[in-house]
Amino acid sequence: MQRITRTDNDQGIPLTVTIERTGALTTSSISIESDEEKWQFEDHNTLTQTLDWIMHDARSKAEHISTQYRNAALGGWAVTFIMPVGHNGELSIYDRWLFRKLMSCCPAFQTTWNTIEHSGSMTRILRQDDHFRVQIAPEGSPAHARTFSFKADNFTSILEHIATYTSTAAVKHAAD
């Protein structure tokens, strides 16, 4: 087994990328602060080439979320997530970082419409103080959105609500 770890602080976002390879199977993990995301894939490049590619991708995404955060904090602009929302409401590691930062400094914000993977639906989140709305709509039809409102004061509770609403509504929209 081969293993390489590289750390970087890009746009004020501490990134750690670790790659492990056994044969052609590569396991990669990205950490931002205390959050980690792992995935496996088959790869035939050298370990260094793979690490360089993943670091480049991680830096690009870190730059994107940093810009989104600055714009939202300074001007109240709508935030665009990097990745589709998981069918169970799961956010990518980058989008979780962005969402946490918004929660800590922006009493009001909204996301743009984001695809919910494998569902034919899309979602957006709106916050005003401690009141949240999650809207779910068929892809390309925001006028047909269902809105779920709730009050929450911590990140975990908010993600649980989002997961519940996106998975329930995505299944409903897929059946329609």
Please write the tens of the pLDDT for every residue from 62-115.
999 998 888 887 776 789 898 988 877 888 999 999 988 888 888 888 999 999
**For residue 55, what are its two tokens?**
């670091």
Burial of 24 (0-12, 13-18, 19+ CB in 10 A): exposed
Residue 112, pLDDT score: 92
Residue 172, pLDDT score: 61
Q: 173 pLDDT band (50/70/90 cuts)?
A: low
Residue 78, pLDDT score: 85
Backbone φ and ψ of 83, nearest 5°: -115, 160
pLDDT tens digits for range 107-166: 888 999 999 888 888 999 999 888 889 899 999 999 999 998 888 777 777 878 788 877
Residue 159, pLDDT score: 79
Helix ranges, 19-117 (H) = 47-75, 93-105
pLDDT tens digits for range 24-62: 888 899 999 888 888 888 888 888 888 898 889 999 999
Q: What is the pTM of this model?
A: 0.81
Residue 1, pLDDT score: 85
How many CB atoms sit inside 10 A of residue 1's CB? 8
Contacts 24+ apart (CB under 8 A), 6-12: 6/51, 6/55, 8/55, 8/58, 8/59, 10/58, 10/59, 10/62, 10/63, 10/66, 11/62, 11/63, 11/66, 11/67, 12/66
Residue 170, pLDDT score: 53
